[in-house]
């Protein structure tokens, strides 16, 4: 049986400004809807890279929900555990990009369909064949049902399966103290932790990311700090190593971190060493930013391998 990578969480579409420095407080052109959500992007990326991805979530019985389901199915994600509800609309995020690369978001999530995720959706069929579970703080933060679903997945997970956690802290949506409390159970169970810059220090209440990541690594966890275009920093066995990234022509950075996590998970599950897996993930992340839309740049394995082989040939 092919080992399954399972994830669950928020399902939404993004509607965005097509150009930079077009804020959302005035009339203007918008593009979309683009399928999105940190965990749907992750699942889509796993499948496009050749892995077996399974997703659990909720969408509304509307056009945005159909957009999400069609994209995940087309990419090869197992979406049999995704529920469609008539009592709420599919989640939406409006996005604008500033000239300095920062993003402005307006989210409609708390009362959307994705907040109806429930533990009853996690059953023996969903867990069949699962060897890797990937979670983020948003899965736990949106609703008590989402939190219960994540905890049920952890409880039913085989002992030999791997748990990876991308904190993906949305401090613009949730209180920091609340996020720390919610993430504590995830970080305690996690085998692999993949924070972005600033998240490790915030979660561990440490002075720096370096100290926080080293502390987690000392507990026997594999820690990979995402550095964006610069690559990532790997912490293991009391040592730290920077794995450089790849040059890329950035169009849209949204979702690149989720694609990075997907590539890292799949490479590790397939038996790659941590440094090799990080390089594979760096290549996937570099390719993911080249198209407008969170899932639009998610690469195939062939594209990632071509970038890796091309980089080797230039050495």
d(CA 126, CA 165): 19
Q: State both tokens at 50.
A: 């050749």
- Give the count of domains, the chain: 1
Determine the pLDDT at residue 39. Answer: 97
Predicted confidence (pLDDT) per residue in 129-145, tens digit: 999 999 998 877 889 99
- CB 209, CB 247: distance < 8 Å: no
Q: Is 156 helix (H, G, I), strand (E, B) or coil?
A: helix
Residue 14 to residues 31, 96, 248, Cα–Cα distance (Å)? 9, 10, 23
Determine the pLDDT at residue 180. Answer: 86
Q: Tell me: pLDDT of 297 over 80.
A: yes
The dihedral region occupied by 129, where left means phi > 0, alpha psi between -120 and 50, and beta the remainder, is left
Q: Is 221 helix (H, G, I), strand (E, B) or coil?
A: coil
Distance of CA 296 to the CA centre of its chain: 15
Q: State both tokens at 155.
A: 């409880």
- Look up the domain containing 27 and give its range: 4-313
Determine the pLDDT at residue 311. Answer: 66
The dihedral region occupied by 2, where left means phi > 0, alpha psi between -120 and 50, and beta the remainder, is beta
Q: Tell me: pLDDT of 30 over 90.
A: yes
Q: Is 25 helix (H, G, I), strand (E, B) or coil?
A: coil
- When pLDDT is averaged across residues 234-244 and rounded to a whole number, the result is 95
Average pLDDT of the chain is 94
Sign of CA dihedral 303, 305, 306, 310: positive
Predicted confidence (pLDDT) per residue in 104-120, tens digit: 889 999 899 999 999 99
Predicted confidence (pLDDT) per residue in 259-274, tens digit: 999 999 999 999 999 9
Q: Tell me: pLDDT of 315 over 60.
A: no
Percent of the chain with pLDDT over 90: 81
Q: Tell me: pLDDT of 100 over 90.
A: no
Residue 292 to residues 217, 225, 256, 287, 305, Cα–Cα distance (Å)? 35, 25, 11, 12, 22
Determine the pLDDT at residue 312. Answer: 59
Strands 162-166 and 192-193: parallel
Q: Tell me: pLDDT of 303 over 50.
A: yes
d(CA 204, CA 68): 34
Point out the least confidently predicted range of 10-14, 98-102, 217-221, 297-301.
98-102
- List of residues 6+ apart from 244 with CB closer than 8 A: 230, 231, 282
- CB 106, CB 93: distance < 8 Å: yes
Predicted confidence (pLDDT) per residue in 33-77, tens digit: 999 999 999 999 999 999 999 999 999 999 999 999 999 999 999
Determine the pLDDT at residue 158. Answer: 93
Q: Is 256 helix (H, G, I), strand (E, B) or coil?
A: helix
Report the length, in residues, of the chain.
315
**Whole-model pTM?**
0.95
Query: 236: domain CATH number?
Result: 3.40.1190.20
Which DSSP state fits 61?
A: S
Predicted confidence (pLDDT) per residue in 146-177, tens digit: 999 999 999 999 999 999 999 998 877 777 78
| More confident call, 71 vs 1 | 71
Determine the pLDDT at residue 178. Answer: 81
Q: Is 284 helix (H, G, I), strand (E, B) or coil?
A: helix
Best CA proximity match to 150, nearest among 189, 192, 202, 113: 189
Determine the pLDDT at residue 86. Answer: 98
């Amino acid at each position: 049986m092919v080992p399954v990578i399972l994830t669950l969480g928020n399902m939404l579409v993004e509607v965005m400004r097509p150009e930079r420095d077009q804020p959302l407080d005035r009339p203007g052109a918008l593009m979309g809807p683009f399928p999105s959500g940190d965990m749907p992007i992750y699942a889509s990326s796993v499948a496009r890279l050749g892995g077996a991805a399974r997703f659990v979530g909720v969408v509304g019985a509307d056009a945005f929900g159909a957009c999400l389901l069609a994209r995940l199915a087309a990419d090869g994600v197992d979406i049999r555990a995704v529920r469609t509800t008539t009592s709420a609309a599919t989640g939406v995020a409006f996005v604008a990009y500033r000239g300095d690369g920062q993003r402005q978001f307006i989210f409609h999530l708390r009362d959307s369909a994705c907040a109806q995720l429930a533990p009853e959706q996690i059953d023996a069929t969903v867990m069949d064949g699962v060897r890797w579970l990937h979670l983020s703080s948003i899965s736990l933060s949106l609703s008590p049902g989402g939190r219960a679903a994540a905890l049920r997945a952890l409880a039913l997970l085989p002992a030999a399966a791997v748990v990876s956690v991308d904190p993906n802290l949305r401090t613009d949506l949730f209180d920091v103290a609340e996020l720390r409390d919610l993430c504590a159970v995830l970080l305690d169970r996690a085998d692999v932790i993949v924070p972005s810059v600033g998240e490790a220090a915030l979660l561990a209440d440490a002075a720096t990311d370096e100290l926080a990541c080293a502390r987690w690594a000392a507990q026997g966890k594999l820690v990979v700090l995402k550095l964006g275009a610069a690559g990532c920093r790997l912490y293991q066995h009391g040592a730290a190593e920077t794995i450089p990234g790849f040059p890329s022509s950035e169009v849209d950075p949204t979702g690149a971190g989720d694609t990075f996590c997907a590539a890292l998970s799949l490479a590790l599950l397939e038996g790659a060493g941590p440094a090799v897996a990080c390089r594979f993930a760096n290549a996937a992340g570099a390719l993911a930013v080249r198209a407008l839309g969170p899932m639009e740049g998610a690469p195939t394995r062939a594209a990632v391998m071509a970038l890796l082989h091309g980089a080797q040939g230039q050495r």
